[in-house]
Each structure stands twice: as C-alpha cells, then as structure tokens.
Structure 1
Amino acid sequence: MSTALPPVISSWFASRGWAPRQHQLDVLASYADGASQLLIAPTGAGKTLAGFLPTLTDLVDGKFDGLHTLYLSPLKALAVDVERNLSTPIAEMGLPIRVEARTGDTPASKRARQRTRPPHVLLTTPEQLALLISHPRAELMFSSLRRVVLDELHSLVASKRGDLLALGLARLARMAPDLRITALSATIAQPEILRDWIAEPLPQRRTDLLHMVGGARPELAILQTEERLPWAGHSAIYAHHELYEIIKQHKTTLLFVNTRSQAEMLFQGLWNINDELLPIALHHGSLSVEQRRKVEAAMASGDLKAVVCTSTLDLGIDWGDVDLVVQVGAPKGSSRMLQRIGRANHRLDDPSKALLVPSNRFEVLECEAAVEAVAEGHQDSEDPLPGGYDVLAQHVLGMACAEPFHADDLYAEVIRSWPYRDLPRAKFDRILDFVATGGYALRAYERYARLRQTEDGLWRIANPQVAQQYRLNIGTIVEEPMVRVRLVRGRGQKQGRTTGPIGAGGRVLGEMEEYFFGTLTLGDTFVFGGEIVAFEGMKDNEAFVSRAFAKDPKIPSYMGGRFPLSTYLAERVRRIMDSPDDWHKLPDQVADWLRLQRDFSVLPRRDSLLVETFARGSNHFLVCYPFEGRLAHQTLGMLLTRRLERMRARPLGFVASEYALAIWGLGDLSALIRTDRLSLDELFDEDMLGDDLESWLDESALMKRTFRNCAIIAGLIERRHPGKEKTGRQITMSSDLIYDVLYQHEPDHILIEATRRDAARGLLDIERLGQMLARVRTHIVHKPLERVSPLAVPILLDIGKEPIFGEARESAMAEAADELLRESMGEVF
C-alpha cells in the first residue's frame, strides 16, 4: 500500500486545520513496509490516531469484508472512549467502516452476532479476546485479521493479564498469517524488551521501534498548605477545603487517589463542604456500569466540575476540558504519575498541569521525588516477567474448548509468546496433565477430569459443560468475593436503618467485597457511591441498603488497590533525606521535622540502614527505615520476628508502612545489641530468604490465600456456575481443602509451585527485599535512644491500624496518637 494519505483523509485533516504528525506517518510507512511497530509518544501526541491511520487507509475504499483490526485495551472505559472518538472522524469522512466495542458490559446478543458478523474494527480487552478464541470456528472470525493495536501496553505486560494477552496473540498469529501489531505507550522504561514482547509471536516480521520526541513539559507542583501536615494516614482530610477552592478555579479537575476507600472518603469530604453545589462526581471500579457510564458521558460533554477517581480513568482516555489533574496521596511511581498528568490538557503542545497532595509527612518526600523524576522524564514502569503457570493452564483449557489439539502443536504455539518463550517441554506437559486430570493427587475425582485424549493423540474437552464453565470463569483478575449492593426503600426511615420491612426491587449501586459486610451489624451506616446508606440485610449474593443520615458513617475498606512504591522513587526519597542542602525545597514543617531527627537521633543515609531502638512503657521497639515499600517491609517484619524469637528477644508484633518497619517486644533490644548478644548484621543477613522464608511460608495463611487465586485462574476452583455464584466462604473452604490435600500428598504439584512463585515475586517482593539486604550488608547504623524519635512517630501511629503478628493481636500496644505526639515532641521542642 502507499504511504500517502488518501484524499478523503487528507481533506479531513485540512478541514480541521491539522496536518498529520511525523510519528503518525512513520507508523503508516512502517506498516506499508510490512512491519509491526512499537510507538512511544507523550500523552496527547495522537497515538490512538497513529494506531488507526493504517486501518483507515486500508479500508477507505470499502472493499474489505470481515474483521480487519482488533484493538485491545486494558480498560473497558478506554475501549468505549476510543469507539466514540474513532466513530466521529469516520462519520465526518463518510467512510464505510463499522466500529464496535466489546466488553463484559456489551449485551449477549450483540456479542454473539460479533462472532459471526464482526465489524471492521473491534475494540475490546484481553479477557474478551481469550473468550473469542475459545469458541469453535474462531478461525472464521480472525482469518481476515490484518492488524492488532495494543494500547497502553506498559500497563498489561507486567501482569497476568499480559500473560493471557501474549498467549492470545500467539493464537491470532497462527490463525491470521498476515497479522501485524502496532503497540502504543507513553511510559516505557525499557523499550527494547517490549519490542521483543511484540515481535515474539511474529518471527517472520520486522518490528520497528518508533519514538516521538517533543511536546510541552508537564507542570507539576506540590500543594503548599497552611494546615498542619498529618504524621500518618492516607485520608488528606486537611486539604479538603483547599482542594475545593482549587476546583472552583478550573474548568474540570480530575482528582486521582490510589484506592477505592480513599475515593469514597475524598468524595464525601468534598461533598460535605460543597456549599455552591458544584457538579462533582465519583468513579471507581466497584460502582455499577450504569453509574460509571453516566459519569463518563457527563465528563465528555463538559457537564462536570470535578471527578474523584481511581485508576479506572488514568489510561489514555480523552475527557473534554480537563485542565488540572490532582494526585491525592503519593503517586508511587513516576511513570504512573506521567500517565495521570496526561489526562489534563490532552494536547501535545499544551502543558499538562498537575498538583500533588501528600497525605502525610513521609509522602511529602515521595511527592518531591516524583516531581524531580517527572521533570527529568524518567520512566519506572515494570518489566514483563516469565508467564504464570495458572494462566497457561487456563489457556490450555480454552484452546481445548475451541478445538481438539495435539500437545506438540500447542506447545510450539505457546512458546511463540514472550512470557513462555523459555518454558521447558516437561513443564508444559505437567500443566497439560493438571488441566486434564487435576494432577496425581486429584486424578481419582471425576470432577477434575476436564480433558480426554483420543486414540489419535488429540486432546479434547471431556464434555460440553467444561466449555460452559470455562467461559463463565475466564480471566486473571481475582478480586475478593463480591456481592451486589442494592438500594431499597424502607418505611419510617429517619436515621440509620429502616424501621419497616425491606422494600422489593431497587437499583444496583455496584459491588463490594463480601468480607466488609461481615464487619457490619444491621443498621450500620457506611458510604458507597457517594451516598450514605444503612445496612438492611443480605440474601444470597446481594446486600440490601437504604438511604440514611449519619454524622460518622463507615468508610468501606477494600483488600486490593494499593500500588507498590517504585524502587526508583524509594531511592530518590533516601537521597532527599541524605541531602540537607536540598531541604529548602520541602515545606517548612517537613524540613523542621528532618532537622529534629538529625538533632535527636541520626538521619537514614542513602547507602545504609538506620536502626533505632528505644523503650516505651513496658515494651521495647526496633524501628528501621529501608524505604522499600510495604510488601517488602511486611515480609521483612515476618522474618525478623521469627529470628528474634529464636534469639529469645520475645517479640510481640510488628507494623510496616511504605517507608519504615517497627517491631516491638518484651526483650531489651538496646541491651542485647550493646552486649553483642544480638548482632544486627546477623539479624539482617540475606540468609533469612532461605530456610527462614521456606519455614514461614509453610506455616503462613498467605500461602493458602495465594493458592486460592492460582486455583481460580487455573480453573480448579470455579467462582461462577450457571445462574449462581459461589460465596467467598464456599470458595475459601474449597480452596483450603484442596491445598491441604495437595500439600500433604503432592507437595510438588504444579499449582503449589505456581503459588510459591506468585508469593515470592508479588505478595512478598522477595527480589526487592534481597536487593535491599545486599545493599545494607555491613552498612547498618544502630542508634539507641531514650524515647521515640521524630522519624518514628508515623510508623508508631500505625500500630493498631494494620494486622499485626502473633501475641501482639491481644496486647495493648496501640495508644492514643496525641499521647505519642506529646511524648515525642514535648521534650524535643
């Protein structure tokens, strides 16, 4: 094909006063030359149009029949947004191109029609792709496919969703020999790795790495508040009034938070002071589809003054007149911050404007580190990892649902995906055996016999119900068990719960994690979807609530949603603390806090680990400051507690934050260290990641929780059955029972192996912890103190708010925050 734009497309650009940018033409030229592409361009540079320009050019004459382009997005909202933004120019140019979105929210009748009469361009998600290729005769739908557009690729490749996507691409490459891939991203730390990721399923094609350089630098600032900055916590309540004034000064403001709980809290706080009745909305993944679509439509039409949101809106979506992005709470990574900044002034030549609002004093340091990283354009996005065995098991079953297969053929296809390129054949055969029989310990049970091998060596599903169950349970996102929240009308309601019977019907507000309702009693009030509701009762998988009035409603807590602090920002935070000459950049109260620490104790150095010990009440504390993120610190706390027990230091518990770790117990730790009965070098030795880790994992409930997730993804435990869903209790009981059987009778079972891999690299952050221990080896600074230090105040305030270890659950270690502050600062000031 020619690289010149067809006249109708050139005329459309001219009618807008535009001209195609060079990187857009580069994608077109690369495609015309038979190559695939990875395009890296800043937010607002027209990456989406660059991705679709070859498609528009191919289809301009209206002669193509069938599915031409498959667009894959990490977010349903992004697919819907792209459908809207792509359909407009197609209609304005009068092109005979049909564009449709396909998500879990698409009606079943439309999804069925799309398999037999697909549009020219289908916009969907990795999960829907897995579903489509699991249907018999999928090749009839995809044999005409010419292009795959992967949007926001960086957000997929480092997760199990990326594993599922890579396997899907390998199958597409088999069904569509002419396939080429265009991947788009603004935030990639190592482009060469992602280019290889794209190229792996298409070895016969060249993959071009295209960079777009330029664009206005983002304008990023930290809120300069007159209020007292909190020592700990994540609510940022101190900033609500200032944020409200900032919202009034801008057209549309997006306020990002890191968790759904924070979203509910911030929205409620702003609404309580919204005297001018500004149109402020809430958007997060637990709200109903109808509510989210309503908010998205209002944003697109410019009807909202502000939206409080989570990561559901931080990727690629172009929302009208957003002229300010606010990040409430530390961003946890420079790439994530750059992505969110790009939602403001979504145009290449206009600077995006963002404001960081730290929730506590440590987060001020992290925000300052993020400002510096963004100014330098530094990327810290995660790299892809070897693929999960549970995801591959799911894919193997899906391919059997599509058609019978020979193991040799499927293995050859699987290793053409980047995450599984080094998968040994023996490992593949073990996974296949698991899918077919459940493995050695489970093969006697007929329910786990999902595949059968025919006389000619083909593997096929055991019965049609296997395919039905597979399609009901597809996907790699395992949330806590959810229940629908239905708003009902009660009688005689005044405050709290209703006084009459629950009314019938009622609209669905969304979904919440099942465990939260186990913490409620009838009549308890809580905030959900921006409303205060009272808990009325539960039936099956539905929780009934009614509108209520309460001065202090509960804020729902969610098990997931926390982002890890990136290694790069953690290193920058240590550098800031170790550079007093740069403290003038910090708010006075934070700089004064660091000076107090320097005068009263010592400051953590960039290349060492500060360990403070002091007595408080009848207990003794050890506080250290690795700045390696909550996951690594929690693992370190578990392992150190075991070691201290062996040393007879009588530890009682620990608490971990993103920045610090505190352990307390009955033994005088300062005296033990002073008399050489406790060596810090030995206590923090890397060998804790060997036998200590293994023995702790063997005893830990964490393994059972991790196994549950792997078993769900692998299809061993099914969440959904036709017409009903299992409760969280049912899933947990089934999972725990199977885990105990496998651990006792087949400890090397492939799912036990998958569980250990997941625990090590995800839930425990073992690699990062190992790097930290190696970095501080022989560089541990011990500072014995008479009382709590200024730097230790935030972590001690967290005691009692987080799950703690062993006997500490029963001990009275958590004291009032104001008492701790008086104790820490009274004598210092």
Structure 2
Amino acid sequence: MSGLAGTGGGAILCRTMNDLPVPIPARFADWFASRGWAPHPHQMEMLAADRRGDHALLIAPTGGGKTLAGFLPSLIDLAETPTEGIHTIYISPLKALAVDIQRNLTLPVEEMGLDIRIETRTGDTPANRRKRQREAPPQILLTTPESLALLIASPDSFDFFASLKRIVVDETHALVGTKRGDHLSLCLARLSAIAPGVKRVGLSATVAWPEALRAYIAPDADPDSVPVIKGGGAKRADIRILDTKERLPWSGHYGLHAVPEIYEEIKKTGTAIVFVNTRAQAELLFQALWHANEDALPIALHHGSLAREQRRKVEAAMAAGSLRAVVATSSLDLGIDWAAVDLVVQVGPPKGVSRLIQRIGRAGHRLDVPSRALLVPCNRFEVLECRCAIDGVDQGTLDGDPPRDGGLDVLAQHIMSLACAAPLRPDEIYAEIVRAEPYRNLDRATFDDVLRFVADGGYALQSYDRWKKLFHTAAGTYEVANPKLAHRHRMNIGTIVEAVTLKVRMRGGGGTLGEIEEYFVTMMEPGDTFVFAGRLLRYEGIKQTAVEVTPARGGDPKVPSYMGGRMPFTTHLSERVREALSNPASWQGLPDQVHEWLRLQQWRSVLPGPDGLLVETFPRGGKEYLVAYSFAGRNAHQTLGMLLTRRMERMGLAPLGFVASDYVIAVWSLHPAKDMESLFDEDMLGDDLEAWMEESSLMRRTFRNVAVIAGLIERRQPGQEKTGRQVTFNSDLIYDVLRRHEPNHVLLRATRADARTGMIDVERLAEFLRRAKQGIRHRRLDRVSPLAVPILLEVGKEAVYGDAEDQLFDELAQELIDEAMHMDPQGGLPL
C-alpha cells in the first residue's frame, strides 16, 4: 500500500490531521492514522481543488501518491453521497496499469468498508463482464482510450455517462501529442457535452510542457483557474552505468555481451525489472538470461505481443513478489506499483531523460527510498548517451516534443463514432470538437471536408457505394446509412495501427502463446525454428488464422521483429551527447574502452562540436565513404540519406547506398564528395523533398496507416480479418486514385502531416541543416576513423540469434577496427 498512499509506510508524515487545509471524513482519517500515515500536501491540494470545483493537473514523482491524490476526492464524495452509475472514469495508457490501479484501490475501499464498486474495462475484459457493466455500471471505471472510444460510439452512451462527475487521466504526458491523445481529447469533449459539470484531473510524473498539459486537461477553462499542483520530496535516484568487464561492442543493440553481469546483479537484488527497447530484444535477452540462470531464479518475460493470460500471470506474480526479475518493454513503463521492485536495469539507452525517469521510478516506489537503476549500454556511442541521460535526471531537465495539431484521420474516425451514437448536427459537432485542445485551431472548411469524407469518401471516391457511410436527412442531420456499418466501425476503433498478426498456438492443445506479425511468418518454412514467448519453437504451418508450433531443440532460430522499431532519440538528449563529445573534461569516469576510443578519434581526425557539422570522407574497398555526425535521430537521418543520394546522383558521384543510426549517417559512392556546402544546403528541403515524398514507399506506408485509422480501409470485419497484403494492395490503389484525381483530399493532407512529423521528421532535419550552416568541418582521411567504425559495422548487418554481438568481431569487422586504430608495432600512439 505504500505506493498508493505515497508515504513510505509511515516514514514520511507531512502534517497532523488537525493541520489539514481541507477536513476529511473520520473514516478516512482513521484509516490513515491506523497506518501511521498522513496525507501529503499535494494530495490535500487536489482535494481542495475538487471542493472548489476546479480541474487540476498534478505533477508528482513516482511513489508520491499520485494515485490516491487522483482518487481521494472521488472516494470521499462517494462515501458521503452514495450514488448509482458511473461517478469517476480513470483513463490509463496501459491495460496493465488499469489492472494495477484496481488492485491498489480495492484494498483501502474494503478496509474502510466503503460500498464502492471499482472495475476495469479494457480490450482484455471478457464480453460477459462488459455486458454486465453496461447494465449495472460500477461507480469507478478504469479504462483505456480505446475502450472509452468504443463506449462513446454506442447509442446508450448518453445514459451510461449521464451521472459522470470526475475524469482522471493518468500518465497524461504519454498521451498528449500522440494520435491516442488526439482521440482521447475528442472523447473528453464528448463526455463534457454529455455531463457538462464533469471535472478533469491529469496525473503525471514527467512533464516537459506543463502549460500544454494543463490546456489539454481543461481546454475550456481559464488557464489561471486550473492549478498545476506539484509534489516533491523524492530522494535522488541512485543510477550507475555498467562498466563491463567484457569487450564493449562497437555496434549492435542487444546487449548480450553483458548477460553474465546482468544476471549477477539480479542475484544480488530482491526483485528487478530489466527494461529493453524492442520486443525482439526482450526475447533475445530473456533467452540469454534463462541459459545463464544456473540458480533457477524465477525470471519472466513481458511484452505486448504475449497472450493476455501470460501477461496477467506475470503481473500477478510481480505484485505478489514471487519473481526475481522480469524482462519487459514499454508494456511496463508507466505507473505500475510494485513495491517489491528495488532495481531497474535499462539495457540500451532510454532515448530520453523523461523516459529514463519513468522507468527508474518503477524501483523503490517510496519517497523516502531512492530508486536504484543500472544502465547497460549496448555499444560505445550508447555509453555517452547513458551518461548524458543520467546528467539530465540529476539536473531535472525533461525532454519531449511540444504537442502538435490533431490528426485529421483521428477526427474522421471520431465523427463516425459520434454518428454511431446519435444523428449528427454539423454545427453542434464542430463546436464540440474545437473544444478539444488539439483541434482548437481546426477551421470550419477543414471540418466540412472531413465530414464529407466520412459521409461518402470525398469527391474522388463518392461514386463507390462502399464508402457511403452517412446520409444527409431533410432535417439537416447526418445518420449512419445502416446498422452493419456501425457494427463494422466499432470493430475497428482505435489509433494504434500494428502489422497484421497471427496467433501462435502449440500443436496438440498447448494453448495460445501470443501473436507474431504476418510478414515474419511468410519468411518461414515448416521445420524452421524461432524464439517467442521465451521459448524455442518449431514452425509447423498455418491452420486457419493461427501459426501452429511445437517445442524445438537446437537449430538456428530466428527472432520476430515488430513494427514501431526503436524509440525516437530526443532532441534534448541529442544536444547533450554532442556537448559531451566535444568536451574532453566530461569524459572523466567513462569506461577505459570508451575513453581510449575518443582519444584516438582526436588523434586520427577531430571530434564533433556542439555546433556546425563534422563530415569525414575516406576511401575503402574501392568505394568512397562520407560520414556525417549529425545526431538528428534515425528518422531524420533516413530522410537525409535519401535526399543526399539524390543530390549526389545529380553531381555525378554515383552513390551506392547509405546507412543511418541515431547519431551518424554514412553514404558510400564511386566518386568522392568535395563540395560539402552544396551537398548539405537547406534547399534540399524544397523540391527534392517534395519529389522524394511523392515517390517514396514510405508515403504509401504512411497513407496505409492513415486510411486504417480514418476508416477508409476496415481491417476487421465480421467473421474475417484482412491480411497485410490485402490492406497494402487496397491502400496503394486508393492512394494512386487520390493523388491523380483529388490531391488535396483530407487523407492525403493527413498523410503529409504524419510523414513530416513522424518517419520523415522534417522539422528535426531542418534544424540540423540550419545548424550545419554555422560551419561544416570536412576532414579528408586516408582511412576510416575510430568514430566512424560503429556506423560502418551496421552496413548489411542483420539481426541473428545467439552470440550476435560477438559475431561483429569476425575477421572483416576486426580488420575494420584495426584499420581505424592502426597502432604502431610497439603499441604506442596511432601511426
């Protein structure tokens, strides 16, 4: 219960009950006193804000009692004035978090003898329970944005939410600025229309843009009337970087070299969460830890593709304190309250200061106990990134992009949901939508375009009956054309577009293990082996919509990879890494292997500076290489690579390919590049960018996601689900039709906006090019530099199972490293 109250089991007492600014009922005061606890000031400020009728945003450290702060006003109100129907809705970005909150809230409710029902409603909730909740709603409902949107799309939503008094949005920062956040903001606007007096509360531990979050929580309110309540008192986190005794890889992203040392840390601690950044990495690391587990410690695996039953089993075991470690992705990032966790291990860099704070907050979970974390870099660049992330935590500097305008594809889906609930009156709906913060700048003409698309597909598609979803009545309203359309729409609600997946089932009745992506299965033949759900499996074939597998032994297994890839490298952390690289005084305490690497880079070439751009060129293997140290993130570098190769082609340099990481981009060609000023000129973001975007397969992929969210392509239909190939074929055909006949179609506008802020990351690229204008330092070398070795090792590299990191040091890789280091025969300084 320490995580709920945030009082560390009585170690921190803020004030006596008599000193509280707002009186609380005797039943609650007695409950606190029986544990030797007293509420934190921010908990009481939240109660005071509720008594005043204010919306509120609470920013408090992990373990600071945010959960109780969010729910205390609801519990007191329900205790004093029992009511039937929905009183409070709690919205979580994670299913696991909703389940965890229910567990933590149920105990004090039972101990105080409160007649309050608290239930969850997520995609994991059985159909019979969902039906019962509609007939007899609980007073407190814990849900996710997707499940809330599904409830709003029902004709009985008006009755269901009529009694609503409070909305609690947890981990608000994780939703704002995303399509899930856009969707939630529209749903909150609808709830305010159904229950005009409803009060909203936002909870978060890491907020880089507090004013933006305050506007998101209460867009209609006077900003000065919405208090931003801050909690404090957390101990400084104890974070260190593993100084591996193994050979630190130059490249790679799995961290398998450090498995023996990670295992020793798990043995020394009570319970640990081992965070990784991708599901593929989770599978590999879990397998490696399992093979190292000579002591038979209970170690589990948790990620979003595993079966619900397996995830719930792991969560329950962690809550009970019966596991020593769990290897997890972002599926356990936010708010999970497991007091038994006393160490977080982050394998690979967190890619952002705020994300690191969230993850290390899973350890300790008490204000009087510092969170303990161990960062395990997977390569040499990542050592620098981990160090800079720790510095950011120490200095309290948070990162994250400011919110952007809401997506038009999300708006289209929401308009259809509203039509499924009741006939639409355009003027009323427009007025409601612009009360959602991401859509406050939406002009009426664009709204009308989106409504037109929902109604009949728009000008270029209006002749096709399949996209006629709404009809315009004589009364001026829009209504769903037939009930089947409403049913199909509800099956496709949501903004998370993942690749088509197939269930993985053990042949012979062993149950479902989870889901893997369809494209991965198409690359396998019966008899192939792969790693999934922490097991080594043999692929036997596909039966209906499931992959049948049997246990396997040995072989050369593959590892499923998933859409979404690696987490984005934040601008704030990027700037810190550039600064650290350029300042040798900051290298103190770095591992010897990294210190030597940077020292040799100084000797061989020069280090990147905090401003401008360092470009190295050198010959190797009959090709000319160009390496630019731009630190703009993988997405911006991918775009830069495409634009550079186009420009180099026009210059007659015969480019052959490129490879990009978060830190560096390398391009190889037949002829050397010399005019760097022209090559990196900002004008590449003009016609070159537009031409490439029109031709790029990335635009087709982005359109495919937009089309699915907007409802143009329905992935799920009664009794069937479209394959990935079907979705791609359909979306490509429509994309070509719209480009030819209606280039300003709302979905093409949404696609361009998504591409610019997402996979293409134009703003980040533009900032990099502006910085490059401050000065390009071109170093012409006779061989590869030490700093360029990691990116060249990425050329042609594919993920493999087993000792993946060791395989980097094969004969060719070692030759490249030796060439860069080029020590003299006596082992002195480089020649």
TM above 0.5, yes or no, is: yes
Cα distance change on mapping 1:205 and 1:467 into 2, 3 Å:
farther
What residue number does 1:324 align with?
Answer: 343
Q: In the alignment, which of 558, 578, 584 is matched to residue 588 of structure 2?
A: 584
Query: 1 CA distance for matches of 2:92 and 2:224?
Result: 23
Please tell me whether residue 3 in structure 1 is matched to residue 25 in structure 2.
no
- Gaps of at least 5 residues in structure 2 are 1-20, 800-809, 824-829
- Tell me which amino acid in the other structure corresponds to 1:360: N
Q: Secondary structure at the match of 1:100?
A: strand
Checking the alignment, whether the CA contact within 8 Å between 2:171 and 2:203 is kept in structure 1 is: yes
- Tell me which amino acid in the other structure corresponds to 1:801: K
What residue number does 1:651 align with?
Answer: 655
What residue number does 1:730 align with?
Answer: 726
Deviation of 1:202 (Å): 4.9
Q: Secondary structure at the match of 2:704?
A: helix
Q: In the alignment, which of 548, 551, 565 is matched to residue 569 of structure 2?
A: 565
When normalised by structure 2's length, the TM-score is: 0.94
RMSD of the TM alignment (CA)?
Answer: 1.5
What residue number does 2:709 align with?
Answer: 713
Deviation of 1:112 (Å): 2.0
Q: In the alignment, which of 287, 304, 308 is matched to residue 327 of structure 2?
A: 308
Pairing of 1:215-254 with structure 2 (within 5 A): 215-254=234-273
When normalised by structure 1's length, the TM-score is: 0.94
Query: 1 CA distance for matches of 2:386 and 2:110?
Result: 44
Checking the alignment, whether the CA contact within 8 Å between 1:68 and 1:145 is kept in structure 2 is: yes
What residue number does 2:619 align with?
Answer: 615
- Tell me which amino acid in the other structure corresponds to 1:765: D
Checking the alignment, whether the CA contact within 8 Å between 1:36 and 1:205 is kept in structure 2 is: no
Q: Secondary structure at the match of 1:354?
A: strand
What residue number does 2:317 align with?
Answer: 298
Checking the alignment, whether the CA contact within 8 Å between 2:64 and 2:232 is kept in structure 1 is: no
What residue number does 1:600 align with?
Answer: 604
Alpha-carbon displacement from aligned partner over 1:93-131 (angstroms, at most 9, x marks no partner): 000111000001111121122223210000000111111
What residue number does 1:533 align with?
Answer: 537
Aligned pair count? 796
Cα distance change on mapping 1:31 and 1:475 into 2, 3 Å:
same
What residue number does 2:122 align with?
Answer: 103
What residue number does 2:488 align with?
Answer: 469
Checking the alignment, whether the CA contact within 8 Å between 1:608 and 1:781 is kept in structure 2 is: yes
Checking the alignment, whether the CA contact within 8 Å between 1:334 and 1:370 is kept in structure 2 is: yes
Q: In the alignment, which of 739, 751, 758 is matched to residue 762 of structure 1?
A: 758
Q: Secondary structure at the match of 2:758?
A: helix
- Tell me which amino acid in the other structure corresponds to 2:363: A
Deviation of 1:815 (Å): 9.0
What residue number does 1:54 align with?
Answer: 73
Deviation of 1:356 (Å): 0.4
Checking the alignment, whether the CA contact within 8 Å between 2:360 and 2:371 is kept in structure 1 is: yes
- Tell me which amino acid in the other structure corresponds to 1:682: S
What residue number does 2:389 align with?
Answer: 370
- Tell me which amino acid in the other structure corresponds to 1:405: L
Query: 1 CA distance for matches of 2:468 and 2:419?
Result: 13
- Tell me which amino acid in the other structure corresponds to 2:789: V
Deviation of 1:334 (Å): 0.4
Q: Secondary structure at the match of 1:330?
A: coil
Query: 1 CA distance for matches of 2:774 and 2:107?
Result: 63
Deviation of 1:203 (Å): 6.2
Pairing of 1:332-481 with structure 2 (within 5 A): 332-481=351-500
Deviation of 1:238 (Å): 1.2
Alpha-carbon displacement from aligned partner over 1:12-71 (angstroms, at most 9, x marks no partner): 111111111110000000110110100000010000000000001101135312110000
Query: 2 CA distance for matches of 1:796 and 1:583?
Result: 24
Pairing of 1:134-283 with structure 2 (within 5 A): 134-202=153-221, 206-283=225-302
Alpha-carbon displacement from aligned partner over 1:362-407 (angstroms, at most 9, x marks no partner): 0000000011001111111332210000000000000000000110
Cα distance change on mapping 1:435 and 1:802 into 2, 3 Å:
farther
Query: 1 CA distance for matches of 2:23 and 2:163?
Result: 24
- Tell me which amino acid in the other structure corresponds to 1:377: G
What residue number does 2:696 align with?
Answer: 700
- Tell me which amino acid in the other structure corresponds to 1:555: V
Query: 1 CA distance for matches of 2:647 and 2:811?
Result: 26
- Tell me which amino acid in the other structure corresponds to 1:452: F
Checking the alignment, whether the CA contact within 8 Å between 1:115 and 1:132 is kept in structure 2 is: no
Checking the alignment, whether the CA contact within 8 Å between 1:62 and 1:95 is kept in structure 2 is: no
Checking the alignment, whether the CA contact within 8 Å between 2:57 and 2:228 is kept in structure 1 is: yes
Query: 1 CA distance for matches of 2:268 and 2:343?
Result: 10
Q: Secondary structure at the match of 1:662?
A: strand
- Tell me which amino acid in the other structure corresponds to 1:688: M
Q: In the alignment, which of 808, 811, 821 is matched to residue 825 of structure 1?
A: 821
Q: Secondary structure at the match of 2:344?
A: strand
Alpha-carbon displacement from aligned partner over 1:503-536 (angstroms, at most 9, x marks no partner): xx44110011111112212111111000000111
What residue number does 1:808 align with?
Answer: none
Deviation of 1:252 (Å): 0.2
Q: Secondary structure at the match of 1:763?
A: coil
Checking the alignment, whether the CA contact within 8 Å between 1:574 and 1:605 is kept in structure 2 is: yes
- Tell me which amino acid in the other structure corresponds to 1:652: L
Query: 1 CA distance for matches of 2:671 and 2:811?
Result: 20
Query: 2 CA distance for matches of 1:714 and 1:541?
Result: 25
Q: In the alignment, which of 796, 800, 819 is matched to residue 796 of structure 2?
A: 800
Query: 2 CA distance for matches of 1:175 and 1:3?
Result: 30
- Tell me which amino acid in the other structure corresponds to 1:433: R
What residue number does 1:691 align with?
Answer: 687
Query: 2 CA distance for matches of 1:174 and 1:815?
Result: 67
What residue number does 1:13 align with?
Answer: 32
Checking the alignment, whether the CA contact within 8 Å between 2:215 and 2:223 is kept in structure 1 is: no
Deviation of 1:702 (Å): 0.7
- Tell me which amino acid in the other structure corresponds to 2:577: V
Deviation of 1:335 (Å): 0.3
